[in-house]
Each structure stands twice: as structure tokens, then as C-alpha cells.
Amino acid sequence: MKKLKDRWGIDSNSQLFIILLVFAITGSTAAKLASPLVSLLGITQENSHWSLYWAARIFLIFPIYQVLLVSFGWIFGQFKFFWAFEKKMLSRLGMSKAFKS
């Protein structure tokens, strides 16, 4: 855990716990929200090829996850960490100009 704390610039175990909790809640919530959105688009496992269904879900999970990560980070008092994390992740995907601040 010390390596992770050093890498992320975290001082305390409680802050690390909160950050890991936010990651867990965000991933679960994004996956849960993607299912009804895919159904809303008319793509279900019953009427679509499995690859289309899962591609649509993954395509929807990504932006949902990005928004929720910063939102839950703010709710748990870790906005600064997650905003920096978000900018770094999006810059690696070539979207850095959208989040200059």
C-alpha cells in the first residue's frame, strides 16, 4: 500500500480507503446505469447479437464512469485527486485539450 500511496501522493490510510471506495462505487454504479440505457436504445441480449450488446454497454460505461468518478470524488471530499486523475487519464487518450485548466 505504501507504493500506491507514494505514487498517488496520498498521506493517510483513510484517504487511500476513501479513494479506493470511490473507485469501487463508481465502477459498480456505471455498470448498473449502462444496462437500462442500452435497453432504452432498444439493444437487449434477447434481440441483438452479443457483441453489439456488450460493445454498446462498454461504449456507454466509459462516459458514465468519467462523470461519476469526479462526482463521487467530490461527494467524498476527494475532488482534487479525482480531477487530476481524470485529466491525466483523458490526456493519455488524446483528449487533453478538452480539460485544460
SS3 sequence of 36-57:
HHHHHCCCCCCCCCHHHHHHHH
Q: Consecutive sets of 10 residues in the chain, 101 residues long: mean pLDDT of each? A: 88 93 96 91 89 91 94 96 90 70 53
**AA identity, residue 52:** L
Q: What is the pLDDT of residue 13?
A: 92
Predicted local distance difference test score (pLDDT) of residue 98: 57
What's the domain range around 27? Answer: 2-99
Position 14 scores a pLDDT of: 93
Please give the pLDDT value at position 91.
Answer: 84
Find where cell 454504479 sits.
29
pTM of the predicted model, to two decimals? 0.81
Please tell me the predicted confidence (pLDDT) of residue 44.
87
Task: Return the pLDDT at 29.
Answer: 96
Indicate the number of domains in the chain: 1
